[in-house]
Chain A
Amino acid sequence: MKNGKVRLNGHTILLLITIALFVVLYASGCIVYGSKGFTHLQTFCNILITNAGLICVACGLTCVMLTAGIDISVGALIAMDCMMLAVGMQKGIGAVPMIILVLIVGVVFGAFQGYLVGYLGIQPFIVTMAGMFFCRGMTAVICTDQVSITEKINPTFYKWANTKVVIPFGGYVNNKGKYLAPYVRPGVIVALLVLVVIFIMLRNTKFGRSLYAVGGNAQSATMMGLNVKMIRMKAHILSSVLCSIGGICYCLNTMAGSVSQATGLEMDAISSAVIGGTLLTGGVGNVFGTFFGVLINGTISSIVKTNGKLASSWPNILTAALLFVFIVIQSAFAAIRERSKK
Chain B
Amino acid sequence: MKPNLSWKKIKGWSLFLPVVALLLVMMVNIVYDAVNGNNPLSFFVITLQQTTSNGTILYGRIIDILNRGSEAAILAIGMTLVVSSSAGTDISVGSVMSLCASFCCMLLAGYGVSSTTTLAVPLIVGVLGGLLMGAVCGMFNGTLVAYFRIQPMVATLILFSAARAIGLLLCNDLIVYVRNPSYAAFGAFMGIFPTPFVITAICVAITMVILKKSALGMYIQSVGINDKASRIAGLNSKRIIFLTYVICGLFAGIAGIVNSSRITSADSNNIGLYLEMDAILAVALGGNSLGGGKFNLAGSIIGAYTIQAITTTLYALGVSAAQAPVFKAVIVILIVAIQSEPVRNFFKKQSAAKHVKGVA
The contact of B341 among A121, A134, A141, A324, by CB within 8 Å, is A121
Total cross-chain contacts (CB, 8 A): 129
Stretch at the interface among A41-49, A84-92, A196-204, A310-318: A310-318
* Minimum CB distance partner of B155 in chain A: A327
| Contact across chains for A137 and B341 when beta carbons are under 8 A apart | no
Of A121, A123, A133, most buried by chain B (CB within 10 Å of CB) is A133
Residues of chain A within 8 A of B290, CB atoms compared? 123, 126
A138 to B323, CA, bound (A): 7
Describe A's contact surface by its main secondary structure: helix
Give Cα A264 to B161, complex, Å. 8
- Given known A-B contacts A133-B326, A317-B166, A328-B148, A121 and B340 have beta carbons under 8 A apart: yes
Give the shortest distance, in Å, between A270 (CB) and chain B (any CB).
7
User: Which parts of B281-335 form the interface with A (CB within 8 Å)?
Assistant: 284, 290-291, 320, 322-330, 332-333
Chain B nearest CB: distance from A88 CB in Å?
Answer: 19
Residue contact A140 to B320, C-beta cutoff 8 Å: yes
Question: What does the 1/0 interface line of B217-247 toward A look like (CB < 8 Å)?
Answer: 0000000000000000000000000000000
A259 — which chain B residues lie within 8 A by C-beta?
A: 322
With A and B bound together, what is the CA distance between A264 and B329 in angstroms? 18
Q: Which of the residues A70, A125, A133, A267 comes within 8 Å of B325, measured between beta carbons?
A: A133
Q: Does A144 contact B (CB under 8 A)?
A: yes
Check: B211 CB closer than 8 A to any chain A CB: no
A129 touches B150 (CB 8 A): no
State A119–B324 Cα separation when bound (angstroms).
28
| 26 A-B pairs in the complex with CB atoms less than 8 angstroms apart | A116-B337, A120-B340, A122-B336, A129-B332, A131-B329, A132-B329, A133-B277, A133-B326, A133-B328, A134-B326, A134-B329, A134-B330, A137-B322, A137-B323, A140-B320, A140-B323, A144-B320, A259-B322, A313-B168, A314-B165, A316-B164, A320-B165, A324-B158, A327-B144, A327-B148, A331-B150
Known: A130-B333, A314-B169. 13 other contacts (CB 8 A): A123-B291, A126-B284, A127-B336, A130-B330, A137-B325, A137-B327, A139-B322, A141-B323, A280-B151, A313-B168, A316-B165, A327-B155, A328-B148
Cα A133 to Cα B166 with chains together (Å)? 25
Number of chain B residues whose Cβ lies closer than 8 Å to a Cβ of chain A: 45
Which residues of A have CB within 8 Å of B155?
A: 327
Say whether B12 faces chain A, with CB atoms less than 8 Å apart. Answer: no
Please judge, given known A-B contacts A129-B280, A136-B325, A327-B154, whether A319 and B149 are in contact too, CB under 8 Å.
no
Check A321 for interface membership: any CB of B closer than 8 A: yes
Residues of chain B contacted by A139 (CB below 8 angstroms): 322
A281 located at the interface, meaning its Cβ lies under 8 Å from any Cβ of chain B in the complex = yes
* Interchain nearest-CB distance for B242 vs A (Å): 15
The B3-30 residues at the A interface (CB cut-off 8 A) are none
Most buried by B among A264, A321, A324, A334: A324
Smallest CB gap from B170: residue in A: A313
- Cβ of A244 within 8 Å of any chain B Cβ, yes or no, is no
Instruction: Let me know if A313 and B173 touch, CB within 8 A.
Output: yes
Asked if A323 is at the interface of the complex by the 8 Å CB criterion, the answer is: yes
A131 surroundings in chain B (CB, below 8 A): 329
A327 touches B158 (CB 8 A): yes
Closest Cβ neighbor of B148 among chain A residues: A331
Would you call A290 an interface residue if the criterion is a C-beta within 8 Å of the partner chain's C-beta atoms? no
- The answer to whether the Cβ of B133 comes within 8 Å of any Cβ in the partner chain is no
CB distance from B169 to the nearest CB of A (A): 5
Considering the complex, which residues of chain B in the window 334-358 have a beta carbon less than 8 Å from any beta carbon of chain A? 336-337, 340-343
Bound-state Cα–Cα, A141 to B321, Å: 11
CB distance from B76 to the nearest CB of A (A): 16
User: Taking each of B157, B277, B328, B336, which has the highest tally of chain A beta carbons within 10 Å of its own beta carbon?
Assistant: B157
- Any chain B CB within 8 A of the CB of A241? no
Task: Tell me whether A311 and B337 are in contact in the complex, defined as CB-CB below 8 angstroms, given that A138-B326, A140-B323, A264-B161 are known contacts.
Answer: no
Select which of B157, B277, B330 is within 8 A of A270 by beta carbon: B157
- Which are the 6 A-B pairs with shortest beta-carbon distances? A137-B326, A320-B162, A140-B322, A313-B165, A137-B325, A134-B329
Q: Is the CB of B320 within 8 A of A317?
A: no
- Bound CA–CA A316/B269 (angstroms): 13
Q: Are A133 and B332 in contact (CB under 8 A)?
A: yes
Question: Considering the chains assembled together, what is the distance between the CA atoms of A312 and B290 in angstroms?
Answer: 36
Q: State which residues 261-293 of B face A: CB under 8 Å.
A: 277, 280, 284, 290-291
Provide the bound-state CA to CA distance between A238 and B277, in Å. 25
Contact partners of A134 in chain B: CB under 8 A: 325-326, 329-330
B103 contacts partner chain A, Cβ-Cβ < 8 Å: no
Give the docked Cα–Cα distance between A172 and B283 (Å). Answer: 58
